[in-house]
Structure 1
Amino acid sequence: MKNFRLPFFLLLLITFRAYAQEEPAETFSVKGKLEDGDKNPVLFANVALYSAKDSTLTGGIASDDKGVFEFPAAPGNYFLKITYLTLDEKIVPNVTVAAQNVDLGTISLKSNAKVLEELLVRGEKSQMELQLDKRVFNVGKDLSNIGSNASDILNNMPSVTVDVEGNVALRGSQNVRILIDGKQSGMVGLNPAEALRQIPGDLIESIEIITNPSSRYDAEGEVGILNIVMKKNIRYGLNGSFTATGGYPANFGGSFNLNYRRKKVNLIANYGLMYREGPGRGNSRQEYNSADTSFVYEQKTARTRSGTSNNFMVGLDYFLNNFNTVTATVSYRKSMNKNKSHLDYMDYDFNNVLTQTVTRAERETEPRTNIEAALNYEKKFDKKGQSLTFNSKYIISDETESSRYHEFSNLDPAGIMQRAFNTEDEKTFLAQLDYIQPVGKDGKIEAGLKSSIRLLDNDFSVHQQDEQMDWIILEQYDNRFAYDEKIHAGYVMASNQFGKVFLQAGLRGEYSDITTELKKTNERNHRGYFNLFPSVHMSYKVKDAQTVQLSYSYRLSRPNFRDLLPFSNFSDSRVFRAGNPLLNPEFTHSFEAGHLLNMPKGSLLSSIYYRHRLGVVENITFVDSTGFTTVTPVNLSTGDSYGFEFNLTYDPAPWWKLTGNANIFRAINEGFYNDKVLKSDTYSWTSRFSSRVTLFKSVDFQSSFNYRAPRKTTQGRDLAIYFIDLGFSKDILKGKATVTASVRDLLNSQKRRSIVENSGYYSRSEFQWRARQFLVTFAYRLNRSKEKERMDNKGGENEED
Structure 2
Amino acid sequence: MMSFFRVAFLCLYGLVLGQPIQAQNKTNFRTIKGVVNDSLSGAPIGYVSLQLTARTGKTIETAFSDENGTFQLKTTVPGSYQLQVSFVGYHPKTVVFTVAETEPSIPLAPVLLAPDVNLLDEVNVSAKKRLVEQRPGMLVYHAENDPTNVGGSAADVLRKAPALQVDAEGNVTMRGSGSIRILINGKYSGQVARSPADALNMIPSDIVRSVEVITSPNAKYDAEGAAGVINIITKKNNMPFGGALTLSGGNREQILNPRAGISLEKWHVNAYAHLHRLQDKWTRSLQRSPISDQGAVYGLTQSTAADNIRPHGSYDMSVDYQPDTTTLLNLSAGSWFGNWPVNTTQTNVSLLPGSAQRYAQEVLTRGAPNIGFELNSSYTKRLRKPRQELFAIAQYSNNLKDDYDYDTWHRNDAGTPIYRERNDNHLQTAEWTLQSDYTHPLGRGGRNVLEAGVKAIFRDVLSDYTTLASETGSSPLEVQPSRTDRFDYSQHVLAGYLQTKLQLPADWLVIGGIRLEKTYVEGLLRSVGEPFTNDFTNWVPSATFEKKWNSNGTLAVSYTQRITRPSIIDLNPNIDARDANNLVVGNPDLRPQATHQTELSYGASTASGVFLFGSLYWRQSDNAIEDIIRIDPASGISTITKQNLGSSRQLGVNASANWPISSQWQLSSNARAGHARFDSRALEIANGGWNAGINANLTYSPGKQYTVQGFVDYDSRAVTLQGYETHWLYYSFSVSKDLPKQNLNISFVAANPFAAYTSRTDVWDASGYRSQLDNRYYNRSFRLTVGWKFGQSGRQVQHRGVNNDDVNTGKEQ
Is 1:280 aligned with 2:285?
no
For CA contacts below 8 A with separation 6 or more, give which structure has more relative contact order: 2
Aligned to 1:60: none
Give the deviation of 1:718 after TM superposition.
1.2
Indicate which of 106, 131, 138 corresponds to 2:142: 138
Map residues 718-797 of structure 1 onto 2, 5 A cutoff: 718-734=725-741, 736-746=743-753, 747-784=755-792
Matched, 1:488 2:494: yes
- Correspondence list, 1:11-410, <5 A: 112-114=116-118, 116=120, 119-120=123-124, 125-142=129-146, 145-234=149-238, 236-249=239-252, 251-288=253-290, 291-347=294-350, 356-398=358-400, 399-410=402-413
Aligned length: 687
Does the CA-based 8 Å contact 1:190-1:562 persist in structure 2? no
Give the aligned residue type for 2:347. Answer: D
TM superposition shift of 1:488: 1.0
CA deviations on 1:527-567 (whole Å, 9 max, x unpaired) are 21222211111211111121101111111111111111123
Deviates more, 1:141-150 or 1:433-442: 141-150
Alpha-carbon separation, structure 2, partners of 1:534 and 1:232? 35
**Which of 713, 716, 723 is the matching residue for 2:720?**
713
Larger mean CA deviation between 659-668 and 299-308 belongs to 299-308
- One-letter amino acid of the counterpart of residue 652, structure 1: I
Stretches of structure 2 that go unaligned for 5 or more consecutive residues are 1-39, 45-87, 92-113, 799-813
CA distance in 1, matches of 2:174, 2:450: 30
Against the structure 1 CA distance between its residues 380 and 114, is the aligned structure 2 distance closer, same or farther, given a 3 Å change threshold?
farther
TM-score, length basis structure 1: 0.81
Query: Which of residues 613, 617, 631 in structure 1 aligns to 2:625?
Result: 617
Matched, 1:604 2:607: no
Instruction: Report the AA paired with residue 475 of structure 1.
Output: P
The structure 1 residue matched to 2:649, chosen from 640, 646, 670, is: 640
What amino acid maps onto 2:455 in structure 1? K
Distance 1:387 1:334, change over 3 A: same
Change (3 A) 1:459 1:150: farther
Cα drift, residue 719 of structure 1:
0.9
Correspondence 1:398-437 to 2 at 5 A? 398=400, 399-410=402-413, 413-437=416-440
SS at 1:566 equivalent: coil
CA distance in 1, matches of 2:147, 2:418: 49
Rate the CA distance shift 1:141–1:248 in 2: closer, same or farther, 3 A: farther
Q: Give the structure with the higher percent strand.
A: 1
- Please state how far the C-alpha of 1:238 moved relative to its aligned partner: 0.2
Give 1:290 deviation, angstroms: 5.8
Q: Does the CA-based 8 Å contact 1:163-1:752 persist in structure 2?
A: no
> 2:700 aligns to what?
693
Moved more, 131-140 or 372-381: 131-140
Please give the secondary structure, in 1, of the residue aligned with 2:404. Answer: strand
RMSD: 2.8
Change over 3 Å in CA distance of 1:193–1:638 after alignment to 2? same
Cα deviation digits, residues 27-80 of structure 1 (max 9, x gap): xxxxxxxxxxxxxxx86699xxxxxxxxxxxxxxxxxxxxxxxxxxxxxxxxxx
Q: Tell me how far apart the structure 2 counterparts of residues 198 and 422 of structure 1 sit (CA, whole Å).
A: 24
* AA of the residue aligned to 1:606: G
1:613-666 CA distances to partner (integer Å, 9 max, x unpaired)? 111111111211212111111112222111111001112211111111111111
User: Match of 2:462?
Assistant: 457
Structure 1 residue 258 displacement after superposition? 1.0
In the alignment, structure 1 residue 665 sits paired with structure 2 residue 674 = yes
Q: Secondary structure, in 3 states, of the residue corresponding to 2:219?
A: coil
Aligned with 1:401: secondary structure?
A: coil
In the TM superposition, what whole-angstrom CA distance separates every residue of 1:94-129 from its partner, at most 9, and x where no partner exists?
Answer: xxxxxxxxxxxxxxxx98533636755786542212
- State the distance in 2 between where 1:122 and 1:389 align: 41
Contact 2:125 2:704 survives alignment (8 Å):
no
* Corresponding residue of 1:582: 589
For 2:227 and 2:43, the matched residues in 1 are separated by 47
Deviations 1:157-200 (A, max 9, x none): 33323445544322112211222211221111133333333333
**Corresponding position: 1:476 with 2:482:** yes
The more displaced of 738-747 and 582-591 is 738-747
Residue among 534, 539, 546 paired with 2:546: 539
Worse-superposed segment, 414-423 or 536-545: 414-423
- Go from structure 1 to structure 2 and tell me whether the alpha carbon gap of 1:526 and 1:466 turns closer, same or farther (over 3 Å shift): same
| Structure 2 SS opposite 1:189 | helix
- The Cα offsets for residues 134-165 of structure 1, whole Å up to 9 and x where unpaired, read as 11112344466432223343344333234455
CA separation in 1, counterparts of 2:89 and 2:324?
30
Kindly state the Cα deviation for residue 501 of structure 1 after the two structures are TM-superposed: 0.9
Decide whether the 8 Å contact of 1:144 with 1:726 is kept in 2: no
* C-alpha distance 338-712 of structure 1, shift in aligned 2 (>3 A): closer
Quote the offset at 1:721 in angstroms: 0.9
Give me the whole-angstrom Cα distance separating, in 2, the residues matched to 1:45 and 1:345: 64
CA 1:641 to 1:44, structure 2 compared with 1: closer, same or farther past 3 Å?
closer
Verify the 8 A CA contact 2:270 2:317 in the aligned structure 1.
Answer: yes
CA contact (8 A) 2:596 2:620 kept: yes
- SS across alignment from 2:405: strand
> Is this contact kept in 1: 2:153–2:200, CA < 8 A?
yes
C-alpha displacement of 1:418:
2.2
Distance 1:339 1:612, change over 3 A: closer
Shift of 1:366: 4.1
Deviation at 1:606, TM superposition (A): 0.3
SS at match of 2:161: coil
The whole-number CA distance in structure 1 between the counterparts of 2:767 and 2:254 is: 48
Partner SS for 2:417: coil
Q: Distance in 2 between matches of 1:166 and 1:350?
A: 40
Displacement after TM superposition at 1:568 (Å): 4.9
- 2:451 maps to which of 446, 459, 469: 446
Hey, what's the Cα distance between the residues in 1 that align with 2:377 and 2:136?
28
- Kindly provide the amino acid, as one letter, of the partner of residue 452 in structure 2: A
- Matched residues in 2 for 1:436 and 1:315: separation? 25
Q: Which position in structure 2 is the counterpart of 1:58? A: none
One-letter code of the match for 1:456? V
Which residue of structure 2 aligns with residue 77 of structure 1?
Answer: none
Question: Within 2, Cα distance between the matches of 1:192 and 1:262?
Answer: 35
Structure-2 separation of matches of 1:121 and 1:167: 34
SS in 1 for 2:340: strand
1:652 and 2:661 equivalent?
Answer: yes
